[in-house]
Amino acid sequence: MKIRPAIEATGLRKSFGDKLVLDGIDIVVPAGSIYSLLGPNGAGKTTAVKIMSSLIPADSGEVWIDGHDLATDPNFVRASIGVTGQFSAVDDMLTGRENLRLMAELNHLGKREGRRRAEDLLERFDLAEAAKKSPAQYSGGMRRRLDLAMTLVGDPRVIFLDEPTTGLDPRSRRTMWEIIRGLAADGVTIFLTTQYLDEADELADRIAVLDNGKLVAQGTAAQLKQLIPGGHVELRFADTLALRAAARVLDGGRVDEAALTLQVPSDGDVASVRALLDRLRDARVENASLAVHTPDLDDVFFALTGHPTLDTQQEKETV
């Protein structure tokens, strides 16, 4: 038998009515790695996850997971995977602990092993204190952690995470990142979708950018970043006089007289920003404010596709 990667999808196509959502995408994820599908709202990320996790059929294309063909062995695939969907899928009428025990029973772990596993996960995901409460009383971060813990009860080899940190506060987001890294370190294969470049950058071994149903770029974070313009520092001034003086001192910047701003290319690290401000101070130019802009999904999209993300497009259209 041919040895296959943990996830291999070829030529996935899917339309809803006459709306084409996936236009033939290919995905290969080697075992034990983290793959991130990056795309704005409405790009088709959830659709891709639903197809690969057996929830909906593709119109055409093949999916192999952990050596099993999804079309012929869906139950083998289901036994290998764990899925944490975009919206939490927990039972609010049960407690956190009961939710985990329910998963243990459905995975046929046996009473004692099931209980042990539930307690382990409660401990590991910092939910032990809230174990007796309904998830309806949990914070967003706790709910998300319970959701993921439920996915892990069956010890899946391949995990799908659909926007695992969307809507979480920065702290919960960090915690979730730690958990995901820990899973990968244990050899679990992770397919994760996100709208945030920094998240993909932080976690993924390989990133694919989804736009208009096609993967417009694939590669490591470093490879993708080479494709996009770097960040910049935006300086705002009190008047045109100061703006022009600053523009003379820091040549190469982009001047916007109407907004009284000057954009200077910069990767945003403290030393270079400090050097920039020192030069202005030496020339006795006072700047009113400063903002550091690091490249984000909009920049990636603009660089790769020549158009902004759908969200920003829509915003502009409705203005």
Partner 1 sequence: MSTATIHPMSDSLTMLRRQLRHSVRNMSTLFNAVFFPIIMLLMFVYIFGGAFNVGVEYVQYVFPGILTMTIAYGVSMTAITVNNDMTQGIIDRFRTMAISRASVLTGHAGGALIRTLAGVTVITLVALLMGFEPNAEFGEWVLAVLLSAFLILGMAWMVIAFGLKAKTVEGASFAAFPLLFLPFMSSAFAPASTMPAGIRWFTDNQPFTPIIETMRGLLTGTPIGNSGLAAVLWCTGLLLAGYAWARRAYATSGR
Ligand X SMILES: Nc1ncnc2c1ncn2[C@@H]1O[C@H](COP(=O)(O)OP(=O)(O)O)[C@@H](O)[C@H]1O
Q: Under the criterion CB under 6 A, does residue 223 sit at the interface with ligand X?
A: no
d(CA 137, CA 142): 9
- Give the burial string for 299-319 (b: 16+ CB within 10 Å, else e): bbbbbeeeebbbeeeeeeeee
User: Which 42-101 residues touch ligand X, going by CB under 6 A?
Assistant: 42-47
Q: Site mask, ligand X, residues 18-47, x = CB under 6 A?
A: ---x-----------------x-xxxxxxx
Minimum distance from residue 108 beta carbon to partner 1 (Å): 6
194 sits near Mg ion (criterion: CB under 5 A): no
Q: SS in 3 state form for 185-247?
A: HCCCEEEEEECCHHHHHHHCCEEEEEECCEEEEEECHHHHHHHCCCCEEEEECCCHHHHHHHH
Question: Choosing among partner 1, Mg ion, ligand X, none, which partner's interface includes residue 66 (Cβ < 5 to 8 Å by kind)?
Answer: partner 1
Tell me how far apart the alpha carbons of residues 100 and 122 are, in angstroms, rounded to a whole number: 8
Question: Nearest distance from residue 311's CB to ligand X, in Å?
Answer: 10
* Residue with Cβ nearer Mg ion (153 or 161): 161
Interacting residues toward partner 1 by CB under 8 A = 50, 53-57, 66-68, 73, 75-76, 78-83, 85, 87-94, 98, 102, 105-108, 150, 154-155, 157
CB of 191 to ligand X, least distance (A): 13
* Tokens found for residue 263: 């954009």
Question: Of Mg ion, ligand X, partner 1, none, which one sits near residue 150, judging by CB under 5 to 8 A according to partner kind?
Answer: partner 1
Nearer Cβ to partner 1, position 50 or 206?
50
Which of residues 86, 107, 166, 218 is near Mg ion by CB under 5 A? Answer: 86
Pick the piece of the chain touching Mg ion (CB under 5 A) from 84-92, 119-127, 136-144, 199-207.
84-92
- Give the SS3 label for residue 27: strand
Q: Is 46 a residue that touches Mg ion (CB under 5 A)?
A: yes
CB atoms closer than 10 angstroms to residue 289: 10
Type of residue numbered 27: I
Residue 80 or 261 having the CB closest to partner 1: 80
Query: Shortest approach of ligand X to residue 243 CB, angstroms?
Result: 40
CB 171 within 8 A of CB 141: yes
Please report how close the Cβ of residue 219 comes to ligand X at its closest, in angstroms.
Answer: 20
Q: Which does 89 bind (CB under 5 to 8 A by kind): ligand X, Mg ion, partner 1, none?
A: partner 1
Give yes or no for residue 139 binding ligand X (CB under 6 A).
no
Nearest approach in angstroms of CB 16 to ligand X is 3
Is residue 240 a contact point for ligand X (CB under 6 A)? no
3-state secondary structure of 183: helix
88 part of the interface to Mg ion, by CB under 5 A:
no
Strand order in the sheet with 60-65: 19-29, 7-16, 60-65, 68-69
CB 28: neighbour CB atoms within 10 A?
17
The answer to whether 219 touches 209, Cβ cutoff 8 Å, is no
β-pairing, 68-69 vs 60-65, is antiparallel
Which residues partner with 7 through β-bridges? 29, 65
Q: Choose from Mg ion, ligand X, partner 1, none: what does 68 bind? Cβ within 5-8 Å by kind.
A: partner 1
Alpha helices (H) in the chain, listed in sequence order: 45-52, 74-80, 96-106, 111-124, 140-152, 170-185, 197-203, 221-227, 240-249, 270-282, 297-305, 310-318
Site residues (CB under 5 A) for Mg ion?
A: 45-46, 86
Site residues (CB under 6 A) for ligand X?
A: 16, 21, 39, 41-47
